[in-house]
Amino acid sequence: MGDIVEDKASFYSNAEGYWKDVPPTVDGMLGGYSSISSIDINGSKAFLKRFLGDGEGKTGTGCALDCGAGIGRITKRLLLPLFQTVDLVDVTQEFLEKAKSYLGDEGKRVGNYICCGLQDFVPEARRYDVIWIQWVIGHLTDDHLVDFLHRCQKALRPGGLVVVKDNVSYEGVIPDEVDSSVCRDLGIVRSLVARAGLRIVHEEQQMNLPKEIYQVHTLALR
């Protein structure tokens, strides 16, 4: 598939403008669907726990990276309870500022708050046990997503895991002019993962979401 994004500069600047006007709340992060946050987090916890632990092939619990972290909804309830240190990266400075209070006392274990677009972000080599990328891949062009996933692979510690959790369309690429993003079907996401040189080691659909929203799938990659 070719990239359907024609004007990359305005694709990114329109998205930045959109998120600047969104309130720094869980409801803001989830487009008004704060009621699904617990379902999402519990599904993610069960998904991730199968990989964590000691021994051959297991993923460590030293350091995680939350990509497109927003105010730290996932950092607070999924990553800080499971990892010693968590870094957050997001393009919206106001969300990262809010995260500093939203994360409360446990926020002391945040290593770095990084304000950067994922298309430009280079994670530190071999720093992370888990790189969590949720509800943000639609803000990257195909080529930028492939390159970013490839950089993430290099940023993993031995046994480390990249997790992509996102909306998927039934077929093709559906643009969203409002927040300047795209929603891809699962076949397209899988092919971009393969182009990045990563392998899908586990895949699940998030169940119990409202019928009117996109299906959400979680992919564990190495």
Ligand X SMILES: C[S@@+](CC[C@H](N)C(=O)[O-])C[C@H]1O[C@@H](n2cnc3c(N)ncnc32)[C@H](O)[C@@H]1O
By the 10 Å C-beta count (0-12 exposed, 13-18 middle, 19+ buried), 208 is classed as: exposed
Q: CB of 141: closest distance to ligand X in angstroms?
A: 10
Binding site for ligand X (CB under 6 A): 15, 19, 29, 68-70, 73-74, 90-92, 95, 117-119, 134-136, 139
Task: For residues 185 and 183, give the distance between their C-alpha atoms in angstroms, rounded to a whole number.
Answer: 7
Q: Whose CB is nearest to ligand X?
A: 70
Q: CB of 185: closest distance to ligand X in angstroms?
A: 19
Q: CB of 29: closest distance to ligand X in angstroms?
A: 4
Which CB atom, from 17 or from 53, has the smaller least distance to ligand X? 17
Which CB atom, from 24 or from 60, has the smaller least distance to ligand X? 24
61-77 as b/e: b if 16+ CB within 10 A: bebbbbbbbbbbbbbbb
From the list 61, 117, 59, the residue with the least C-alpha distance to 89 is 117
Which CB atom, from 51 or from 132, has the smaller least distance to ligand X? 132
Which CB atom, from 48 or from 136, has the smaller least distance to ligand X? 136
Helix (H, G, I), strand (E, B) or coil at 124: coil
